[in-house]
């Protein structure tokens, strides 16, 4: 009887430790994604330039680029293999990118000739 009780106490303790570890893991995940969700970068584009409110972030994570076309012809914004739709002057498009590693990520407008004319740059994840 005594052995059984001690054994079940151990079992209880193990469950308690395991669930504590789970809670810690979950909250670590939550705070990380919460911090990442806060990164919004304003991108303004026109003939023939991009202006980013920030050209780098301090760690890998999720970034929402809010691209506004402040030019006079259609443009888009492409980075890390994803791009916004082609948008008209005055319009805004969002692009959510999860940067998984530290690197330099080139960005550009994919309309023919625009990148060559200056609609390009490099975004850095430090």
For the chain, first and last CA: distance in Å? 59
Residue 111 binds to Cu ion (criterion: CB under 5 A): yes
Segment (H or E) for 118: none
Cβ distance to Cu ion smaller for residue 52 or 111: 111
Q: Phi and psi of 5, rounded to 5°? A: -60, -45
Instruction: Look at residue 7 and give its three-state secondary structure.
Output: helix
Alpha helices in 47-93 (DSSP H): none
Q: How far is the CB of 109 from Cu ion (least distance, A)?
A: 3
Stretch touching Cu ion by CB under 5 A, among 28-36, 52-60, 73-81, 95-103:
73-81
- From the CB of 19, what's the least distance to Cu ion, in Å? 53
| Contact with Cu ion (CB under 5 A) among 41, 114, 123, 125 | 114
Would you count residue 68 as binding Cu ion (CB under 5 A)?
A: no
Residue 66 interacts with Cu ion (CB under 5 A)?
Answer: no
Is residue 115 within 8 Å of residue 109, measured between CB atoms? yes
Q: Does 75 bind Cu ion (CB under 5 A)?
A: yes
The token pair that represents 25 in the structure block: 């893991």
Site residues, Cu ion (CB under 5 A)? 75, 109, 111, 114, 119
């Amino acid at each position: 009887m005594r052995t059984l009780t001690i054994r079940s106490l151990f079992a209880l303790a193990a469950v308690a430790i395991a669930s504590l570890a789970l809670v810690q893991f979950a909250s670590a995940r939550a705070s990380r994604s919460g911090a990442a969700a806060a990164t919004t970068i304003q991108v303004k584009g026109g003939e023939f330039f991009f202006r980013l409110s920030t050209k780098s972030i301090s760690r890998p994570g999720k970034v929402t680029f809010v691209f506004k076309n402040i030019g006079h012809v259609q443009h888009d914004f492409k980075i890390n293999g994803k791009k916004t739709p082609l948008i008209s002057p005055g319009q805004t498009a969002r692009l959510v990118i999860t940067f998984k590693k530290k690197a330099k990520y080139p960005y550009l407008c994919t309309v023919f000739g625009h990148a060559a004319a200056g609609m390009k740059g490099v975004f850095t994840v430090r």
